[in-house]
Structure 1
Amino acid sequence: MAEQTGTESKMIDATELSKAMTSIAERSQRIVADFLTRQAADPTAAAADPLNIGNAFMEMTAKLMSDPAKLVEANLNLWQDYMSLWQNTARRMLGEETQPVVAPDSGDRRFKDEMWQENEIFDFIKQSYLLSARWMQGVVKNVEGLDDHTAKKVDFYTRQFVDAMAPSNFVLTNPEVLRATVETRGENLLKGLNNLLDDLERGKGNLAIKMTDYDAFKVGENIAVTPGKVVFQTDLMQLIQYDPTTPQAFEKPLLILPPWINKFYILDLRPKNSLIKWAVDQGHTVFVISWVNPDEKLAHKGFGDYMLEGPLAAIDAIEKATGSRQVNAAGYCLGGTLLACTLAYLAAKGEDRIASATFFTTMTDFKDPGELGVFIDEEQLSALETRMNQAGFLDGRDMATTFNMMRANDLIWSFVVNNYLLGKDPFPFDLLYWNSDSTRMPAAMHSFYLRKMYQENRLVEPGAIELNGVKIDLGNIKTPLYMLSTREDHIAPWQSTYALTQNVSGPIKFVLSASGHIAGVVNPPAANKYCYWTNAKKPKNPEVWLAGATQVEGSWWTDWQKWVEKFAGKQVPARQPGDGKLKAIEAAPGSYVQVKAV
């Protein structure tokens, strides 16, 4: 008798398959019905093109057709490339060695399966796609006569289309998926369909792709576990003071302002990569703002409210808790933008409550905001404001989708393949858990931020922004600054963040870290990863700065510690949370961070 194979043992029971398909049909009908009901009740849903993509591509097409010779030349080049590919493929099938006409980037994980290289058919599919992608993106990039914003929008959404059409995203053209389908007799696709329905149900009709095992993490239990207490709170934030780990501490506490676009615990994921724990271990009395996840009750809160009820309220509270009138402050991304505004506000009032300020990947000049600028124009802002004014806030999923689109292959399509085509569960990953733990934005604040900073770039104009009745001017900032930017940042391009070096009056140390917006910042010394660049000079051109910079191996954390110690004051007995005039409210990480957006 022939031995039963592993594949045969995995045959799907017909009765079970019928039950599964019936359940899928019922869930699908319910999801579609619920989605259509919500769409009918949403006045913004009728907008055919809220991102204003159609007009951008119509303008691009008109410009393209006005120079048909250039299009003909591009098509001829594509045809020649295809002829070379056909010839190479035929020679490979005859057993000859050939060099690829086009190859994916070394970091392109879509084609990591060995069959993309070893099998002639899949190699042809891969190279055909890469040639078409290169042709399409080259054509739209070379269209003349488009304004800069339209050109960037066309380029961005062309890339979205190109990424979506990758052969790795389809069952019949992905060798790994085909192999799994044969081995499991289609069970992977059935599991993938259930995963898809789960994500649609969780997103209430919108696709909320599951990026990690959400049940594997719990805030306060296995992430955000540095011990401390909430010692103060406002409508917008809780102030956490962390337990000391050294008998002595610096006199001036450290106040960290994370962005309220995300939750604070990116700086406290695990003990081994927690910047918060590391700073405590260096002898800082660390306070961190944990922002509220706002709902419609806070729709009226503006940017000025975030300053008054955030860093300014925190500084006063810290003085009560420790007796120190001054703090060293650090702001991350949008938290850094708020810190810059706070410094200018205090300078205008003649107050020196902040002894030094550190900026992590912070933009203050939004002239060139990178790919986020694609989403900033009057049509898109008006549509966004309509949605926000109806709800009172920007849904956290909207912001998450925007950021995910900027790295679509890594943060969208890789999960489509893993979850829906291969039928696998995503791997437990604390960073992606944090990334999925989205936060809302109050309507008034977010509208102000997008218009006054991204659209109008008013923060760099002296007196053009007024907060709490005070016109602010970055040029009045004389506080010593440490600026940390990251070379591969797709959210806050380092060349744009560098502009602050030219806009303030005080001493600045600018440091550029390798890697990106998160990994370049969350880079503990023990990991011994990446490097950073320093240059004491501050030329106007950032590329000139980099050309003259010195590369240093390892983490920038130790460099920052040497810098900030100069402003941290003398050593004093370590302070315990709740021992001062502020009593402990609850244990860290507090209750504000526990509120989910969905």
Structure 2
Amino acid sequence: MAKRPTTPPAKAAHAPRKAGRPTSAKPPRPRAKAKTTAKAPPEQPAAAPPEQPRAETPADAPPPPGSAAASPGADQRQMLEALSLNLARAAMTAQAAIAEAALSQADRPAALSPDPFNVGPAMTQVMTGLASRPDKLFAAQADLFNRYMDLWASTTRRAAGEDVPAAPSKDKRFKDPAWSENPMFDVMRQSYLATADWMNGLVSSVEDIDPRTKRRAEFFTKLLTDAFSPSNFLASNPAALKALAETNGESLVRGMQNFAADLERGAGKLKISQADYGRFKVGENVATAPGQVVWRDELFELIQYDPATDKQRQIPLLIFPPWINKFYILDLQPENSMIRWLSSQGFTVFVCSWVNPDVDKAGFGFDDYLEKGIYRAVEKALEQSKSDHVNTVGYCIGGTLMGAALAHMAARKDDRVTATTFFAAQHDFAEAGDLLLFTDDHWLGEIEQQMDAAGGVLPGAAMAETFNALRANDLIWSFFVSNYLMGKDPPAFDLLFWNADQTRMPKKLHMDYLRSMYGQNRLSQGEFTIGGVKVDLSKVTIPLYFQASREDHIAPVNSVYRSARAFSNADVTLTVAGSGHIAGVVNPPSAKKYQHWTNPALPGSLAEWQAGAEEHPGSWWNHWADWLHDKSGDWVPARNPSKGPLKPIEPAPGAYVKVKS
């Protein structure tokens, strides 16, 4: 990245960086009362006095006042002046931004609860459990004391000149060499890691309390210890201090400008930028696969993509993405677009692009998304492709709905869907991971009030904050350090741009999802009613392909495995991919990244499956394509979306995907 120009004059201290801000955000402006600012240093250092002609200066004469020879510390003084002024500018920028944010929030209702996640009672139970076992608490305290004694012993030997290698750490927060090379920062790092590990281990060791209560305490203890990492503070982050010194404080000025711009973008709430949002535009450099919107109604647009081969498989493929996010995760850029890749393999690809629901859809529930979504999209895809059958894909929550729809179709003896693939989808929620922590009655009451206050929809930012909290170090603190302490611009990263392009959710649908699936696990138990039918997953008999990701924190691999086994009478193929919820799915073969595991059996436990699984390098897409070709009929002439029975409405990616929350 090119270096920034010299810091602009003080009157522009509050202007956001030119790149990296969303086009819709207004540049932050100081209020009138915050107008007084320190003067900035000049654009260039003041020129030194002209050198006197040698002929007129005696050899033994003292150097003229103000010359470099007379003032050996002039450059240092200039740098200190610049540093002082930049530190003042950074402080004033932050103060003005915080004051403006406070004013913008002053007329808004206070938080619904001081403890919306109900952490207090969970921690009380943990403390009670520890107090009931004083022997365990004493042993834990002795363990922490021994860790500190070992640390101070090695630090003392190192200070005395002994060659004591620093303890290694694979933690990305401490990758800068100064964390281990500088004794002071090494002590900070090691003492923090020892204390954080001790605290988390102590909470995990508690016995005889409800497992979900314990998990809540563990989760929020981890959030707390992550927040107090020395890497998150300017004074204790050597990389940030080095940048401060090398730029005479300009890095911190830029960081506080980034901070002010993010507060402005969040309308008074800090909305940390994770990507250079100005670098991407839907339909121009992301979501660019050619195709046509061939159907549009109040709930979705149906997009048919142009063929990339002369012939295509007879049975088309219809993809149902999650309505929590937008579909173009499957069509980011040409090199990582699953939609383009599927077209190149000879499949007719349809995608259901869900509407970004507003308050008029607050009453839409699972029945609406089944009848007006799944069934209508299947009907229109079959009409457009002139086919009697279709294969489907359900991704994440779209897969949860698709699984319930298959059971509904089985009850109605509807055989139009011949095979289905699930990406990171759950149907058995007994082990659904940390998101279970957000679905107790206390939190559900809080989120219901939040949706009522928003007119009956969950704002997109609310779900984004939840997902960010699940991976706080990667999705919160890494950007906090980079954007604010280091003064860097966020990266031009298409996946993080998509991640920030959130959608709203209707109250009825979302509350039923949280209560029926996460809260009561009714779908896997045959107790979930949709479309007037109490559905039973064991009635589904068509071939199913399940994809899970080994490091998925939203749909954990064990949860997906349980879901695959819930379809007990179907022909199920399971593949486990490397990486997580997104990168594990969106991993084109050309990238040659990660790995995947296959096992034709589906034994009683994931551990048994893993013991018999075979590891393969790279993407799982080719394995899936072989399975899909076998389920997609003969070859037929390629279908042109502009010449089907449904007349084109507008080019892909359509209009619904461009609606911002």
Fold agreement, TM-score > 0.5: yes
Offset, 1:188 = 2.0
2:210 is the alignment partner of 1:144: no
Shift in CA distance, 409/386, structure 1 to aligned 2, threshold 3 Å: same
1:445 pairs with 484, 509, 512, which one?
509
2:521 is the alignment partner of 1:457: yes
2:551 is the alignment partner of 1:488: yes
Q: How does 1:260-275 map to 2 (within 5 A)?
A: 260-275=323-338
Q: How does 1:149-188 map to 2 (within 5 A)?
A: 149-188=212-251
Shift in CA distance, 19/506, structure 1 to aligned 2, threshold 3 Å: closer
2:148 pairs with 73, 79, 82, which one?
82
2:391 is the alignment partner of 1:328: yes
Question: Which residue is 1:212 aligned to?
Answer: 275
- SS of residue paired to 1:449: helix
Offset, 1:97 = 2.2
- SS of residue paired to 2:642: coil
Alignment partners' CA distance in 1, 2:76 and 2:359: 55
- SS of residue paired to 1:578: helix
Number of aligned positions between the proteins = 589
Q: Which amino acid aligns with 1:65?
A: A
Offset, 1:56 = 0.8
Deviation string, structure 1 residues 515-544 (Cα, Å, up to 9, x no partner): 111111111111112211111111111110
Deviation string, structure 1 residues 253-282 (Cα, Å, up to 9, x no partner): 110111111111111111111111000001
2:307 is the alignment partner of 1:244: yes
Question: Which residue is 2:469 aligned to?
Answer: 405
Question: Which residue is 2:109 aligned to?
Answer: 39
Q: Which amino acid aligns with 2:495?
A: L
Q: Which amino acid aligns with 2:538?
A: G
Q: Which amino acid aligns with 1:31?
A: A
Q: Which amino acid aligns with 1:75?
A: Q
Alpha carbons 1:321, 1:578 under 8 Å: kept: no
Shift in CA distance, 144/436, structure 1 to aligned 2, threshold 3 Å: same
Alignment partners' CA distance in 2, 1:386 and 1:46: 8
Question: Which residue is 2:31 aligned to?
Answer: none
Offset, 1:306 = 1.2
Question: Which residue is 1:433 aligned to?
Answer: 497
Alpha carbons 1:511, 1:533 under 8 Å: kept: yes
Question: Which residue is 2:376 aligned to?
Answer: 313
- SS of residue paired to 1:39: coil
1:529 pairs with 552, 577, 593, which one?
593
1:119 pairs with 161, 182, 197, which one?
182
Q: Which amino acid aligns with 1:232?
A: W
Shift in CA distance, 519/25, structure 1 to aligned 2, threshold 3 Å: closer
Shift in CA distance, 369/15, structure 1 to aligned 2, threshold 3 Å: closer
Alpha carbons 1:257, 1:329 under 8 Å: kept: yes
Give the RMSD, CA atoms, in angstroms.
Answer: 1.9
Shift in CA distance, 240/5, structure 1 to aligned 2, threshold 3 Å: farther
2:631 is the alignment partner of 1:567: yes
2:129 is the alignment partner of 1:63: yes
Offset, 1:7 = 9.9
Deviation string, structure 1 residues 533-560 (Cα, Å, up to 9, x no partner): 1111111111101101111222111111
Alpha carbons 1:228, 1:587 under 8 Å: kept: yes
Q: Which amino acid aligns with 2:353?
A: S
Question: Which residue is 2:266 aligned to?
Answer: 203
Offset, 1:99 = 4.5
Alignment partners' CA distance in 2, 1:20 and 1:128: 30
Offset, 1:49 = 1.2
Shift in CA distance, 410/6, structure 1 to aligned 2, threshold 3 Å: farther
Question: Which residue is 1:592 aligned to?
Answer: 656
Q: Which amino acid aligns with 1:467?
A: I
Q: Percent identity?
A: 47
Q: Which amino acid aligns with 1:228?
A: G
For structure 2, the residue ranges without an aligned partner over 5 or more in a row are 1-67
2:343 is the alignment partner of 1:280: yes
- SS of residue paired to 1:231: strand
Offset, 1:343 = 0.6
Question: Rg larger in 1 or in 2?
Answer: 2
Question: Which residue is 1:30 aligned to?
Answer: 100
With normalisation by structure 2, the TM-score equals: 0.86
Alpha carbons 2:89, 2:253 under 8 Å: kept: no
2:291 is the alignment partner of 1:221: no
Alpha carbons 1:11, 1:184 under 8 Å: kept: no
Question: Which residue is 1:388 aligned to?
Answer: 451
Shift in CA distance, 14/489, structure 1 to aligned 2, threshold 3 Å: closer
Stretch of structure 1 that moved more, 254-263 or 195-204: 195-204
Offset, 1:503 = 2.1
Offset, 1:27 = 4.0
- SS of residue paired to 1:358: strand
Deviation string, structure 1 residues 20-55 (Cα, Å, up to 9, x no partner): 766654443232111121125xxxx24221111111
For structure 1, the residue ranges without an aligned partner over 5 or more in a row are none
2:501 is the alignment partner of 1:501: no
Alpha carbons 2:549, 2:579 under 8 Å: kept: yes
Alignment partners' CA distance in 1, 2:497 and 2:606: 34
2:164 is the alignment partner of 1:98: yes
Stretch of structure 1 that moved more, 60-69 or 131-140: 60-69
Q: How does 1:414-433 map to 2 (within 5 A)?
A: 414-433=478-497
